[in-house]
Structure 1
Amino acid sequence: MSTGGGWQDQVGGIASGIKIVQTKPYMEQDVQAVKCSISDATIAELNDRFAVIYTGQRRLARNLLRDVVTRYITNEPASLEAHYNIRQLAALMRFELEKGNVDGFAELLNQHWQESQRIDSGSTNTCIDMIFMSIDDLCAGKMICGAGGGGFLQVVLKKGVTKADIRARLNAVLQDSGVDVWDCEFV
């Protein structure tokens, strides 16, 4: 946590389950991790349809986050609007999951990805774009993990698509690149 990056991923990883992480805009943070009320059936569907993809790239979020923070504190209108939209999308995503609508959640995840790219074009790169393009017809939703620029991607698969289908496509298109589907589970 001393790399100049954010703290939200670490907070999210401390407690189990799907949650919304909130804080107030003050120097001294009072972080709240509010657990979402999601049915066992929806968790089971997410476990079947959610995949984490390793990009084969490593990156340090510090540089990306420096640009994001600079655009935010200088009140750049597009950045402020995208941050506002992401906050709204988070509430809607929680609502869709709590009512058991994984496809609605996936569509909002796509919108979040678009807003993230408005905040910082460096959140994606040629490798990430190629991975997403190669599996786009198999996915209902997609997003990066963390600040982007490498690391991991997350996707919600279309109904009937398996993680093995994603892995086979990635291996066919991006042979020997290190890109792979990793096992994951919501707990």
Structure 2
Amino acid sequence: GGWQDSYGGIVPGFKVLSSEAGPEIQVQTKRLPLSEEWVQEFNSRLLLIYTGKTRLAKNLMDTVLSKWSNRDKEIVDTMDRLVEDSGQCELALTQGDFQAVGEIISRYYKDKMFLSSTTLNDPPVVAAMLHHLDSMIDGATLCGAGAGGFLAILIKQGQDRGHVMKAAKEAVALYHASQPRICACCNDKGGHQPECDCQEDEGEDIMWSWDATVDNTHGLVVTVGEEP
């Protein structure tokens, strides 16, 4: 386990990575033959958002591995579906079906949440954002195990990137406005303390976005400021 991140970064562009079950990992790589025009269209609709909400990946993976070792039927079925969906995503990519790609990555996200015993309301701000953006996007998923807080969004055809980003910020603002304000020291103690007379924490806007592009030569390129 864990080899997918390294190979994902080393092998450029869109690809399928696989390995047979066994003690020795032997990774097979297959790059998808996609046209430059198609890649440019995909890039124009790909948005990467840092949600500001992170979790400890080790805890998530411990839960997944524990469930897998017990061979619970729902867990095994979900793992099989994840593998099947990777093949379906390959087919949708080669056919240029953006809507199908979006549906598959959203379904993939739901299955990953099930494996880690979390729900689509965790973290709640991401659920609020996706609900707000539902009519503007074909699909979305938290990247990797989801612990890093990076959300990849595939925008619907014809939607303006700036408008989608504005809507995402509005969703976050509405979510925070609906939550009780607790100062930092009380938050560490599990809630507001009667003896505390400090000011409530108004929070801050820690949601960032980048132009994320998939280059056939270099792989995923995330531009921050003027430097990729």
Q: How do residues 171-186 of structure 1 correspond to structure 2 at under 5 angstroms? A: 171-175=169-173, 176-186=204-214
The corresponding residue for 1:36 is 32
The corresponding residue for 1:56 is 52
Q: Deviations over 1:103-130 (max 9, x none)?
A: 1211212221222222123373212212
User: Conserved in 1, the CA contact under 8 Å of 2:48 and 2:212?
Assistant: yes
Q: Say if 1:39 and 1:100, in contact at 8 Å, map to a contact too.
A: no
Deviation at 1:59, TM superposition (A): 3.0
- Following superposition, the deviation at residue 166 of structure 1 comes to 1.9
Write the distance in 2 (CA, Å) between the matches of 1:28 and 1:19: 21
> Partner amino acid for 2:205?
S
Q: 5+ residue gaps in structure 2?
A: 174-203, 216-228
User: Per residue, is there more helix in 1 or in 2?
Assistant: 1
- Conservation of the 8 A alpha-carbon contact between 1:78 and 1:118: no
Deviations 1:72-126 (A, max 9, x none): 1210111110110011111011011111111121121222122222212337321
Map of 1:102 onto structure 2: 98
Displacement, 1:71? 0.7
Q: How does 1:59-138 map to 2 (within 5 A)?
A: 59-122=55-118, 124-138=122-136
Structure 1: unaligned runs, 5 residues or longer = none
Larger Rg: 2
Q: CA deviation at 1:150?
A: 4.3
- Give the distance between the partners of 1:79 and 1:11, measured in 2 at CA: 26
* Worse overlay, 137-146 or 170-179: 170-179
Distance in 2 of aligned mates of 1:47 and 1:14: 19
How many correspondences in the alignment? 183
Distance 1:130 1:50 in 2: 20
Determine if contact 1:21/1:32 at 8 Å carries over to the other structure. yes
CA distance in 1, matches of 2:117, 2:207: 21
Do the aligned partners of 1:138 and 1:161 also contact (CA within 8 Å) in 2?
Answer: yes
Counterpart contact for 2:53–2:123, Cα < 8 Å: no
- Residue 152 of structure 1: aligned partner: 150
Question: What is residue 19 of structure 1 aligned with on the other side?
Answer: 15
Alignment partners' CA distance in 2, 1:43 and 1:181: 20
Quote the RMSD (CA, aligned, Å): 1.8
Q: 2:44 is paired with a residue of what secondary structure?
A: helix
Q: Distance in 2 between matches of 1:42 and 1:111?
A: 23
Query: In the TM superposition, what whole-angstrom CA distance separates every residue of 1:23-48 from its partner, at most 9, and x where no partner exists?
Result: 11112211223211222222111101
> What fraction of aligned residue pairs are identical, expressed as a percent?
25
Q: Which moved more, 1:25-34 or 1:87-96?
A: 25-34
